[in-house]
Every structure is written in structure tokens, then in C-alpha cells.
Amino acid sequence: MKRTNSLWDQEGVRGRQGEWANLLAWRPGRRLCCIRGPLKNWIWPGSGRRAGGENHRTMRGIIVGAGEVGYHIADRLSKEGHDITVIERDRERERLLGDKVNALVVHGNGADASVLEDAGIEKADLFIAVTNQDEVNLVACLLAEEYRVPRKIARVKSLQYSKDGGKLSADKFGIDLLINPQIVVAEEIFSVVRYSSATEVAEFADGRVVFLGYPIRSSSPLAGISLRELGDIRGMYRLVLAAITRNDETIIPGGDDRIEVGDTVFFVCNKEDLEAIRYLFGFQKQQTKKVFIMGGGRIGFELGRRLDATGCDVKIIERNEERCREIADRLDHALVLCTEGTDIDTLRNEGIEEADAFIAVTNDDQSNILCSLLAKKSGARRVIALVDQPELLSLAPSLGVDATISPRLATASAVLKFVRRGEVLKVAPVEQSNAEVLELIIPSGSPHSSKKLVDLKFPSGAIIGALVRGDDVHIPSGDDRLQAGDHVIIFTLPDAVKKVEQFFT
């Protein structure tokens, strides 16, 4: 095998251009490393050019950890056209990622400087450490700081790292964003609980615009009507029905599309109109007063603390007796039940049939789903489950779980929001699909300013749900015009995200 200036020649490559293959890369003074990914996307070391010859001026990111969070972030950023390298030490995860994601995969420890150099850290614009070990993530980011990577993000589970002003805070490590998954998930569940019956919830423009998803049941007045008919009956209350999810497929509907039983509909509206819209379409509104939380871990405790502070009657189910005592000592009013989530007799004695919500947040997806369904059968009005496995995430709603929250998506959303910051103010993932809702600012000098929306060649796969101008919220029609400084709330399918961002650049 002959050595070239920066890598072994074609004997070290298995496969043809455009196919998945392995490459042995060599750089002077460094060891060999195995890189896996699609040849058409390989960046030849030092060239800034793809193997296919395409000049590509995009962000270069390194992600440490190819678990569910790292996989999701890599998938999203690579689909948006960025040059992503993932570092993973587990061979099986490395293989799965290499087969599914349009990214380079380097085998090794992300807290090893030589591995980081093999991944091209000297030219990285973004560094994201999301392994399951806090210390690995922090050390990796410290090394990235030494290599002067402009932006660094770390996922940490320990509260000692994520507390503002703590002795081991983000500032001490030179990290731009520390994300605690438990806090992020607790915040998202808390938002969902506040909107009764909704399966998806996101607020934009300082809470003045809401994005909500509602399941369509046989009793719903929306079942069987077309969007054209919906436009005729909604009266003075303006909203945008942004999408419909049916049989695991999400579409942006047209006027002739009909809403069917079993669908989940997603709409954007002015928060001031929400109560009237709920009444008009038969979406239930009932104050959440009594809540059961299964799982007294960090997520369960944080969620219980927040709900307890609002005056809710909170009961936390936890099987570990020592943890039960700890929670009881730290929460003022919550009742802690030392039992299993499957102990229906105890739950009935505690009034599960009167519960407004049952929320399962243990580390076991299957247990969360099963106990949620048992609680619903026992009378709980609404059940919410923490589910991380993608296969179960799409299955749970069809079984009867009212809402699912994914730690993977919640954490990835927080990362993507930071990565896209600038004109993008907020990113909210849609749990039941890979869609997103974005809040962007129209930049000054935009070529789209002063044009009617109907005249814009807006990317397919996306729809504008609301315009916020100063203190005014507009649910847009084709005659509305964009202005510099407007906040625009957009629902977008995965393939359209990059096009939408480029459209407003």
C-alpha cells in the first residue's frame, strides 16, 4: 500500500463512490483511525472539499456519543447539509450510525486528544458531547476549548454541574451550553400537563402564540370534515391547521384533505383565542388538580416540585424506600407512595379514578407504557408516558397513551435551538414525527420583505402559522406581508428545515 500526502490510497477503501465504505485515514505524526461513512460526503483532510468534488461551505461539527441523542442530532444536522463527524467507542453503535446517518464516524474515546485530532477538531466550528457519562462530556469539552472550537455543548445529568453559579458551572469549563436532560424533560411534561387533552404543546413569542396537537376521536366535531369546510365554520377565530399525522405519516394538508378519526391534528393560534377554539372544536378543557407521578427519580422529583408549587394534589409512586423518604423530606405537600406502579389496589385506595393525570417517568419505557394503560383503565382521565425508544414512541399513542415525551428529542431540541441561534429563536420538535416548529426573525434587508405571502415561493413541506409584529399576533392569510423584525412561527417537515432557514437568510 502506497502512502499519499494525507491518506492511504484506494487499496484502503472498500466500496465505490456513493456507497457506504470504510476508510483508513493517516495524517503525518498521527496514528491510523477507522472512519465510516458515505464516500460522497467524505472531506479529504486539508482540502475542505467533499470526495464527490462539491465545494461545500457549511458548518463542521463533531459529536461525541452515538446514543439516541447523538444519533438524532447527527441525523438532523447532516440532513441540513452540515459536515458532521461522530466519535463513538462502541462498535455496534458505530456500525448502526454508519449505516443510517450521512456522517463520518470515528472509533474511539471522545476524551482522547488523539481521537479528536483524527476527527479534525482543529477545523471544527461546533463541538457537542452527549455520551452517558458526565465526566467524559466535560473532559471532551475542555479539550475542545484547548483547540479553540468556537461553540461547545455538553449534556450533563448531575445537578452539581448544571446549577447556575455552582463551583463546577459551565463558565468554569469554558462550555457555552450545559444541558441537563432531566430538567429539560420535566419542563416539557409540565407544559403538556397545563394544556389538558393536548398531545403536543409549544409556546412561542413569549407565550402569545401556541402550537398544539390534539387527537381526533369519534366524538370530535372535526371528524370527517375537510379543511375547506373547516375554514367555513371556524368563524371569527383564526388559526392555521399546520399538519395532520395519520398512520405514522405527517402531512401538511390542502383544502380537500379530510380529518379522520384516529388522526392527530396540529394547529397554531393566538393564545387569546385558545379557549374559544377549544369550545368550538370540542377539545376538552379541565383544570389539572390531581396528579399521580410514577417514578421518583430526578425527572419525577423535579416535575413533582413544579406541580406541588402550583397547588396540585401530587402523589409520587416510588418503590425505593430510601428515595421515598428523601422526596418526602424535600417536598412540602406531595404524598409519596412506596409501592409499584402496577399496584392497582393501592392506587385505587389513593383515588386513581379521580386523577386528572397519571405521568410515568421511570427509566423503563415498557413499564411506563404498561402502567399508564393500567392507570387509564382504572379511571385516570389522561396518561402521559416517558418513552425514548423510537419504535415505542410511535406505538404508544395507538395503544391509548394520551401523550408521550422523549428525553432524546427534548435534549436534541435544546441543542438544535442553540446551534441555530441567530435568526432562529426557538425550535420545538413534534414527538410523533420528525417535524419541527421554528420561531425565526425576519432579518433586515430580506428580499421577502413587503411581499404578499401568496407571492412568496415558500419551500414545500413547510407552512407559516403565525406572524408577530410588535405586540400584535397575526394568523396570516395570503394577503399578509412580511416585514423586517417580524417573528415568524413555521411548521416544517424534516426535509424542509434547511430550505426554510436558507429562505429567510
pLDDT of 494? 82
The pLDDT confidence band at residue 239, using thresholds 50, 70 and 90, is confident
Q: Residue 292: phi, psi to the nearest 5?
A: -105, 135
What pLDDT is recorded for position 198?
81
* More confident position, 137 or 26: 137
Question: What CA–CA distance (Å, rounded) separates 81 from 501?
Answer: 12
pLDDT in tens, 196-214: 778 888 888 888 999 998 8
Residue 340: all three cell numbers together? 409499584
Same fold, 10-179 and 290-408: yes
CA 199 – CA 470 distance, rounded (Å): 30
Comparing 15-19, 69-73, 182-186, 229-233, the range with the smallest average pLDDT is 15-19
Mean residue pLDDT of the chain comes to: 82
Which of 300-304, 403-407, 418-422 is most confident?
Answer: 300-304
Q: Indicate the residue type of 254.
A: G
The predicted-structure confidence for 455-504, as pLDDT tens digits, reads as follows 888 999 999 999 999 889 988 888 889 988 899 999 999 888 878 878 88
Would you state the pLDDT for residue 234?
Answer: 65
Pick the CATH number of 199-281 from 3.90.226.10, 3.30.70.1450, 3.40.50.720, 3.90.550.10: 3.30.70.1450
Cell for 85? 463527524
Q: What is the model's pLDDT at position 161?
A: 59
pLDDT tens by residue, 101-140? 889 999 999 999 999 999 999 999 999 999 999 999 999 9
CATH topology of domain 290-408: Rossmann fold (3.40.50)
For 400-454, give the DSSP string.
T-SEEE-HHHHHHHHHHHHHTBTTEEEEEE-TTSS-EEEEEEPPTT-TTTT-BGG
- The model's confidence at residue 236, banded by pLDDT at 50, 70 and 90, is low
Q: Show me where the domains of the chain are located.
A: 10-179, 199-281, 290-408, 409-503
Give the confidence band of 159 by pLDDT, cuts at 50, 70, 90: low
- Please, which pLDDT band fits residue 341 given cuts at 50, 70 and 90? very high
Q: Could you tell me which CATH class the domain 10-179 is placed in?
A: alpha beta
Instruction: State pLDDT tens for residues 347-395.
Output: 999 999 999 999 999 999 999 999 999 999 999 999 999 998 878 887 8
Asked whether residue 51 carries a pLDDT value surpassing 70, the answer given is no
Which cell numbers hold the place of 431?
414527538
Would you state the pLDDT for residue 15?
Answer: 32
pLDDT of residue 28: 36
Q: Please list the residues that pair with 467 across neighbouring strands.
A: 474, 488
> If we measure between CA atoms, which residue out of 144, 154, 191 comes closest to residue 69?
154
- C-alpha separations of 388 from 244, 288, 331, 365, 370 in Å: 22, 25, 27, 7, 14
pLDDT, residue 155, reads 92
Domain 409-503: state its class: alpha beta
- Provide the pLDDT confidence category of residue 297 given band limits of 50, 70 and 90: very high
**Is residue 57 predicted with pLDDT exceeding 90?**
no
Share of the chain above pLDDT 90, in %: 42
Using pLDDT thresholds of 50, 70 and 90, give the confidence band for residue 190. very high
Give the pLDDT band of residue 401 (cuts 50, 70, 90). very high
Report residue 38: phi and psi, to 5°.
-75, 130
